[in-house]
Structure 1
């Protein structure tokens, strides 16, 4: 029977043919190599058995060697490749057959679930998980709270395949999912029993929801985000939304909305020049991100991945030092013309997803504001623990962004930290008079109440600073010790992993 345009019977026959070819490839390799070797032995010196360099390489290669002895040559190399191919096909055919059976029982099956390389879905597992989810409503959790019950549900959901999770989310009512979110997020103790444990800690909660989000089909993204609003950071609390742009760099917008970009995560690797802060006022974080991209591009690249369903996961540490992957839908804040509002790259989107993950994970002590508005205006050194799991440090005694002009701002200390491998950021005072009263050669790159990152030093000891707004229109500036004392208010550093 054909399911979603695929005939499992014919595909199984094709996989069997590939298996047979794989088993015969070694014999074919040996026979061809023997023929060419014999021909070579009977030719005059200087002549080759074949004009094709790949075939000529087979001379003397009578026994095809495994890949760990070096590059495998055709046709012997086809043994492993065809074997892997047919094994993958057989797994996916079982998945296809399982989905067909699932659909026959009335379960919704998304097109994205077809041919997933995972175990075939089990209807009983879906039924059981959905039943246990619904049983949470009205349940007596006892004197110890509901955390143990929620941990059990979380483990059950983690054990489901992508197709099973997607079917569960499709089958569950919005009220079922919203009530589950309510239980997950409420960690208050009972008044009469201060020792009970309710909800899940933030890292555990985000981990469970992130794993679910990474498995469901795009058709369920909206339903999931409505039930679990913490999986999509708001932008309505930002200056870009409330004021229509960024009053520092002059960028403005109309009609901010969510839209998925067409650019890849990476185009040509990672560089600090990829980082372009746009309309959200989080220069303190973006400057740190650019500095880390400069110091350790591999760490940045290893810390982000795209999942099969299009969601993106970014490695983040929370305020308590808990390591986690923050998973998010691929849509980003965009203006009415499709231009990105958030931090973006030059034809690559990875900086935007780092920023989005940070907007989901960051929370300042005593401040419950979340989303993009929650990351606007803060101390650059506070971004370090979220980016690397390590604390940042002040290199001057003058405090942080917008507060004073540090008393001890020797550029040698910045240089020593930078050359030891640290990411170094600097900030400017909240003195708007400096926006007009600064060296002309700095142009629009300099701005008050702003953060920068150190790109390097000149031979004569001047510091080279990069603006997180990007190098296009804001080229790096060179700053002397005297200028630094007058126009900058502090410096921070953190270790690049």
Structure 2
């Protein structure tokens, strides 16, 4: 009987046929090699038995050797591995389909998207156990040691579930069960009467579990997830752009900020620093670092972001201990009433916006609990480096990599040494609004006080080329002499590219 349009019995028969063909490929290899070898021996010198390089390679290969000895790399011998891999994949998918069919027979919800997943067959017992333990948190006496051990048990069960299992659990769990779990894992405070108990889950552990859940559930359950775990959406109501209606530095304004899905793809033509445009949130210190990293190692940036089958996006972010995890978020982004992006965006692509959104979800300055986009406004470029690469940033003025002894040394040649060594280099401008009018005219509106820039390169005559994270479209790079750098810039910093 077909299940959601797929005939598991027919597919199994096809897989078995492929298996039989793969086992016969060695015999076919020998037969064809014999024919070609005989033909080659009877041809005049200089002529080939075949013009196809794969077939010509079979000449003399009458007894095919396994691939581990360097053999069967050519057709048809290579079909043994290719057809074998194909039928193995098919049989795995068939088992998963049959498992979904069994779930549906017992009354469990199965989304249409689950039939296309390449994963293990769902285990009904895992769904039942996790749901029982999740519901059992309501009214439970956690004892004198707090609730962390109970929450870690549930978290471990969730982490070990397939996408189909998680989606069934999300559908069966009540909003009340999920909200209570969210409340418990977020509260890490000690009980007033017992300061030595352990409650909630540490932030990295909590985020890892929720990110994994969000990346796997079906689109139909994403709204339910968001309602239960509101902390997985960073707020923008604490930003200057929301409170003041725009960015007072670059002059961009807005009306009606809200969440909306973008129409542009994750990537359009790869990764480039020229894709990065800061827009309206005041996090130039992070965006300058992001643009500098995109310039130095675009592949590293591209490898650090992925779109999941359910439409969510995951970004690789490091924590303070140097460990990375994939932070998952919904695809919607801060947008104004006219559909224009408010957050950092690309030139027809969205990867910069999701890097910024992930950062807004995880960043917290020491001693400051403010989160969201407002929490990443106004800080030091070197503080973004550990989240982007897992490596600490460093001040170049105070020595560090360059071994400079003078704190006020801003020699462009020294910055060039750091840049040429492969580091991302950023600089800042003084918090002095008089400089917004008193700067070289050729810089136009690219220069602004109290702002961060990234180094794009150097000229042959010793000048430094700086990029504005507001984007090259409208804010072209500026070329700065040593004398100008001393007056208009400060705080050179750098971090290593992995």
The answer to whether the 8 Å contact 1:30/1:64 transfers is yes
The answer to whether the 8 Å contact 1:93/1:115 transfers is no
Query: Which residues of 2 match residues 59-458 of structure 1 at below 5 A?
Result: 59-67=59-67, 69=70, 72-261=73-262, 263-319=264-320, 321-396=322-397, 407-458=408-459
The answer to whether the 8 Å contact 1:318/1:362 transfers is no
The answer to whether the 8 Å contact 1:319/1:362 transfers is no
The Cα of 1:96 is off from its aligned counterpart by 0.6
The answer to whether the 8 Å contact 2:64/2:72 transfers is no
Given the superposition, is the C-alpha separation of residues 291 and 145 from structure 1 closer, same or farther in structure 2, using an over 3 Å criterion?
same
Secondary structure of 1:355's counterpart equals: helix
Given the superposition, is the C-alpha separation of residues 8 and 487 from structure 1 closer, same or farther in structure 2, using an over 3 Å criterion?
same
**What CA distance in whole angstroms lies between the structure 2 residues aligned with 1:264 and 1:72?**
38
Q: When the two structures are aligned, how many residues end up with a matched partner?
A: 489
- Mean Cα displacement is larger for which, 384-393 or 462-471? 384-393
**What CA distance in whole angstroms lies between the structure 2 residues aligned with 1:14 and 1:301?**
38
**What CA distance in whole angstroms lies between the structure 1 residues aligned with 2:27 and 2:371?**
64
- Mean Cα displacement is larger for which, 295-304 or 474-483? 295-304
The Cα of 1:64 is off from its aligned counterpart by 4.0
**What CA distance in whole angstroms lies between the structure 2 residues aligned with 1:324 and 1:47?**
58
The answer to whether the 8 Å contact 2:64/2:71 transfers is no
1:152-208 CA-to-partner distances (Å, cap 9, x unmatched) read 111111111111111001111111001001000001111111111110110011111
**What CA distance in whole angstroms lies between the structure 2 residues aligned with 1:347 and 1:72?**
42
Secondary structure of 1:2's counterpart equals: coil
- Mean Cα displacement is larger for which, 422-431 or 328-337? 328-337
- Mean Cα displacement is larger for which, 371-380 or 167-176? 371-380
CA RMSD in angstroms, aligned pairs only: 2.2
Counterpart for residue 45 of structure 1:
45
**What CA distance in whole angstroms lies between the structure 1 residues aligned with 2:267 and 2:58?**
39
The Cα of 1:29 is off from its aligned counterpart by 2.1
Counterpart for residue 25 of structure 1:
25
- Mean Cα displacement is larger for which, 450-459 or 342-351? 342-351
**What CA distance in whole angstroms lies between the structure 2 residues aligned with 1:490 and 1:309?**
43
**What CA distance in whole angstroms lies between the structure 1 residues aligned with 2:333 and 2:58?**
53
Secondary structure of 1:114's counterpart equals: helix
**What CA distance in whole angstroms lies between the structure 1 residues aligned with 2:339 and 2:443?**
31
Question: Is 1:494 equivalent to 2:477 in the alignment?
Answer: no
- Mean Cα displacement is larger for which, 176-185 or 37-46? 37-46
**What CA distance in whole angstroms lies between the structure 2 residues aligned with 1:423 and 1:34?**
59
Question: Is 1:11 equivalent to 2:46 in the alignment?
Answer: no
Secondary structure of 1:188's counterpart equals: coil
Q: TM-score, normalised by structure 2?
A: 0.92
The Cα of 1:262 is off from its aligned counterpart by 5.2
The Cα of 1:299 is off from its aligned counterpart by 3.0
The Cα of 1:407 is off from its aligned counterpart by 4.3
Given the superposition, is the C-alpha separation of residues 63 and 373 from structure 1 closer, same or farther in structure 2, using an over 3 Å criterion?
farther
Secondary structure of 1:3's counterpart equals: coil
- Mean Cα displacement is larger for which, 313-322 or 62-71? 62-71
**What CA distance in whole angstroms lies between the structure 1 residues aligned with 2:84 and 2:235?**
48
The Cα of 1:338 is off from its aligned counterpart by 4.3
Q: TM-score, normalised by structure 1?
A: 0.92
Counterpart for residue 56 of structure 1:
56
- Unaligned residue ranges in structure 1 (runs of 5+): 398-405
**What CA distance in whole angstroms lies between the structure 2 residues aligned with 1:14 and 1:372?**
53
Secondary structure of 1:305's counterpart equals: strand
The answer to whether the 8 Å contact 1:203/1:322 transfers is no
Given the superposition, is the C-alpha separation of residues 465 and 22 from structure 1 closer, same or farther in structure 2, using an over 3 Å criterion?
same
The Cα of 1:493 is off from its aligned counterpart by 1.9
Secondary structure of 1:438's counterpart equals: coil
